[in-house]
Amino acid sequence: MRLFGVLFRLAWRNLWRNHRRTTIMLCAIAVGVWAMIFMTALTRGMVDQMIIEGIRTLPGHVQIHNPKFLDDPSISNPVSISAQQSFDDPEIVAWSSRVKVPAVISSERESRGITLLGIDPVAERHISFIKYDEVDGRFLVDSDDKGIVIGAKLANILETEIGKRVVIMSQDPDNDIADRGFRVVGLYTASTGAVEEAYAFVGRATVQKMLRIGNQTTEVVFVGDDYRDVEALYEVILDAVDDSVSVQRWYETNTYLGSMLNVMDGFVVVWIIVIFLALSFGLVNTLMMAVFERVREIGLMLALGMKPGSILGQILIESMLLLLIGLVAGNMLAWATVMSLQGGIDVSVVAEGLEMFGAASVLYPKLNVDDMILASKVVLVLGFLASLSPAWRASRYKPVEALAKVG
C-alpha cells in the first residue's frame, strides 16, 4: 500500500502522456459502455412494456382457475369460487372474477373467432388495459350491461360500428350452442392491433345468463404492486383458497411473457460481453503499445529497485483508470440519452414487425441501475483480466535487457 501513491501518480501521468491515443481509447470505451447501457435500456423498456401490457391485457399478476381450465379453456371448467366471494389483503391491489370463453362474433358482413370476456367493469377498472374514459362510445357500466365493447380493429374487420348489433355465439356447459345479440356500445384501442382483434368485453351477469352458468366464472385475477415480485401475493392467494383450484403466477399463465423476461436478462449479459470483447482488443493494444514504448523506463525502475509486482500494479492501475474514466463518461452519456428520450421513440415505421412480438410502436427506454452496475462490473472485471497480459509482460523484463533496448 505504501507504494500505491507513486504507482498511481506514474499510472495517471503515463495515461496522459499520449493524449491522442488515450482520448481515442476513452471515446471507444465511453461509446461502448453507452451502447451497452442504452441498448439494454431500450430493450428493457420494450420488454417491460410488452410484459406490462400483456399482464394488463388479461393475466394480472396471479390467477385462479379450475385445474383443467388451462388445458381446456371452456365454460365446462369453471372455477369453484363464487363471483360473490371477496378477497381482502394488503398485498392485493385489485382483483376481479371473469367469465372467459372462446366465442364467434358475427356482424352482418363478417365473422371472427374471439375471446369473450364477461367482466364486472367496476372491479376491472383497476386491472384492465382499457382506459374507460378513452373508449370511443362508452365502456360497460355494470355487470348487467347488455352492450358489448370491441376493439377498433375488430370493428373494422367486421365492418361494424357503434350502435350496430353483433351476434356472439359460444357453447354452454352441456356443449349446446349459446348465443345472443349485443349492441356495440364502445370501441377500445390497445397498444397492438392483435389485442384489439382478439378480445370483446361484455357484462359478466349478461354472459352468465347467455351461457346458463348461474354465478360461475372461469377465472379470478389479482394484481399486486410489482409484476417482478409476485411471490407474496401468490402466497396470500394460495392461503385463501383450497385445493380444488389452481393458482398461477402471471409467468406461468403466459409462458411467452415469462420466458421473455428470462431471455431479456440473458440477452443483457450476452450483449454487454460482446461489446466488451470488441473493446478489449483496443484496450490490450493500447496497453501493449504503452508498455512497448516504455521498455527502457520499466528497465530503469527495475534497476532502481522497484519489484516486478509494482510494475505489474502500475500497468493495471493505468488500465483501471482508463476503464473507470471511460465507464463514468459512458454511464453519463447513456443516462443523458435515456433522459432525453423519456417521451418515447417513435418506431411506427417498423410497427408491424414489432407487433409480432407484442411490442408497441413507441418505445420507452428504461434505465435500470442494476444494468449500469452490471455493465460497469463486466467492463472492470474483464478489463482487469485483459490487462493482465501486457502488465505481466512488462513486469517480466530483465532490467539489463530492458535498459539496452533501442528506443
Q: Where do contacts with another protein occur on this chain (CB under 8 A)?
A: 2-3, 5-6, 9-10, 13-14, 17, 296-297, 300-308, 310, 399-400, 403, 407
- Which residue, 235 or 297, is less far from another protein as judged by CB? 297
Q: Which long-range contacts (CB under 8 A, 24 or more apart) does 67-70 make?
A: 67/244, 67/245, 67/246, 69/218, 69/219, 69/246, 70/246, 70/248, 70/253
**Location of C-alpha cell 349485443:** 182
- Which residue, 5 or 163, is less far from another protein as judged by CB? 5
> In terms of DSSP bridges, do strands 246-249 and 62-65 run parallel, antiparallel, or are they unpaired?
antiparallel
Count of all residues that appear for the chain in the document:
407
What the block records as the C-alpha cell of 12 is 495517471
Smallest distance from another protein to CB 10, Å: 6
Smallest distance from another protein to CB 274, Å: 35
**Location of C-alpha cell 535487457:** 401
Smallest distance from another protein to CB 338, Å: 38
CB 77 within 8 A of CB 66: yes
What the block records as the C-alpha cell of 301 is 525502475
Smallest distance from another protein to CB 313, Å: 12
Smallest distance from another protein to CB 312, Å: 13
- Which residue, 125 or 296, is less far from another protein as judged by CB? 296
- Which residue, 2 or 228, is less far from another protein as judged by CB? 2
- Which residue, 258 or 308, is less far from another protein as judged by CB? 308
Helices 308-340 and 19-57 sit at what angle, rounded to 10 degrees? 50
Q: Give every CB contact of residue 162 below 8 A, 6+ residues apart in sequence.
A: 136, 137, 184, 185, 186, 187
- Which residue, 310 or 361, is less far from another protein as judged by CB? 310
Smallest distance from another protein to CB 235, Å: 60
- Which residue, 148 or 298, is less far from another protein as judged by CB? 298
Smallest distance from another protein to CB 317, Å: 13
- Cα-Cα end-to-end distance for the chain: 32
CA–CA separation, 168 and 113 (whole Å): 10
